[in-house]
Amino acid sequence: MATDTGTKAQAREFHPIDYVKITIFGFGLSGLWSSLHTVILPLRLLDFVPEVLKNTYLDLLVLAGVLLAMVVQPIAGAISDRSSASWGRRRPYILLGAMLTLLFLPGIGLSGSYLAVFVTYCLLQVSANTAQGPFQGFIPDLAPAGKRGLASGVRSLLNIIGGIALVRLIAPLMDRYFAGGGSAWLWLALAIPAIVLLAVLVTTMLTVKEQPGSGRRQLPFLSTLYRSFRVDVRASPGFLSFLVSCFLIFAAWGTLMAHALYYLMDVVGIGRPGEAVGDFLIVIGGCMLAAVYPAGRLSDRVGRKPIAISSGLFGALGIVALFFSQSYVPVMLSGSLLGICGGAWMSSQWALAIDLTGRGEEARFLGLVNVSVAGAGALSRLVGPLIDFFNQLTPRLGYEIMLLICFVCLVAGSLLLARVRTTA
């Protein structure tokens, strides 16, 4: 009874604006990665790599960075779980990682070779994930237990808005750069996510109120490394199945988003691919926005799994629609199906992840979820060489195989999620 009373009191003290405060940093991170992966890097690499191997070089670059993220994020989360800082467990690491990210970001514009872009991108992955791992502990730390689905919905909502808004702002700038308009357009494109990240960092530092760190003894590095990736399957029996499900679902999304710009160039035949992929993301994002908040609220009432499973299968339907879309308008309509899937999945999936976290190790467990997501991103980057290989055998065949991979991953990931046991 005392616990229920305390939970109700916490819920009363947590105001609507507090959900935004603890998730706003994700807006900046999502905007940064979406703009880099979807528009900036694909067009920037064309300065250095052969046209026929553009998918391969892009995917090798992102694969290396994703592998780094898989290591850095859970370790940073685990360290923050044991932080003893007087101003909170998470914010010191968020500040450090974000400031390093802002320091490294100009390297994308300064680079004069593929190797320089490669090194800069890897540094960005290390620094940004140093911030992201601890940031993910905010919801389980601060949101009321009965409102974590709502908090996850707000988080997903801000991530979607951040990713889409920045891509749409940056896409026309990169099109001008791609068309030979000069490096000023590239620098302006890089400045936008930097300014946004700085703004959300300041907001987070000033508005999120954490309790002082627990002061638990930090473990030696090797012990931290081991414990960061260890999962007790008896204590968390459904967690591993959940991680595999996330891996498959995000592999589908990562594969599609990673090659969307080149797909619109080579299959649909659009001359201004930056703006076209921006429009595609706006359609997806608009439908995500319509689905993400209601899905988060609904998952608090009917459970996470029904929403997540349905959304994954609905996404597979969107892939089928995209396969048969050979012009601009049908492609955008297929994006609406994918958007509904993505919004419902992101909201219910993150709430389910929080339900499955170990007490006192929230950031570490959520870091492991993002290891699964990063692993999916790594897998999606192995598809690029496959696309280039089959496209050289038969035009567009590589892209058809890409869509088949997306379809299979969405169906398999949804079905596997049915095996996850949870009380929420």
- Mean predicted confidence (pLDDT) in 57-70: 85
Per-residue pLDDT tens digits for 166-211: 988 898 899 889 878 889 999 999 999 999 999 999 999 999 988 7
pLDDT at 332 over 80: yes
Percent of the chain at pLDDT exceeding 90: 25
pLDDT at site 230? 57
Per DSSP, the three-state class of 358 is: coil
Q: DSSP character for 212?
A: P
Per-residue pLDDT tens digits for 268-323: 777 676 777 778 878 887 888 788 777 777 777 777 788 888 888 888 998 998 88
- The band of 417, judged by pLDDT with boundaries at 50, 70 and 90, is confident
pLDDT at site 358? 56
pLDDT at 9 over 60: no
Q: Name the more confident of 11 and 247.
A: 247
CATH architecture of 18-208+237-417: Up-down Bundle (1.20)
Q: What is the mean pLDDT of the chain?
A: 81
Is the CB of residue 228 less than 8 Å from the CB of residue 331?
no
Q: Name the more confident of 150 and 335.
A: 335
The segment with the largest mean pLDDT, out of 133-137, 203-207, 331-335, 370-374, is 203-207
pLDDT at 219 over 60: no
Beta carbons within 8 Å of 38's beta carbon, 6+ residues apart: 167, 257, 260, 261, 277, 281
d(Cα 312, Cα 301) in Å, to the nearest integer? Answer: 19
d(Cα 133, Cα 159) in Å, to the nearest integer? Answer: 15
pLDDT at 33 over 70: yes
Please provide residue 357's backbone torsions phi and psi, each rounded to the nearest 5 degrees.
-70, 150
Which of 424, 384, 409, 295 is closest to 54 using CA atoms? 384
Which of 47, 26, 71, 76 is closest to 200 using CA atoms? 26
Amino acid 377 reads: G
pLDDT at site 226? 46
pLDDT at site 175? 86
Per-residue pLDDT tens digits for 95-140: 999 999 999 999 999 999 999 999 999 999 999 999 998 898 888 8
Beta carbons within 8 Å of 292's beta carbon, 6+ residues apart: 153, 156, 157, 160, 343, 344, 346, 347
Q: Name the more confident of 172 and 369.
A: 172
Ranges of each domain in the chain: 18-208+237-417
- The band of 421, judged by pLDDT with boundaries at 50, 70 and 90, is low
Predicted TM-score of the model (pTM):
0.69
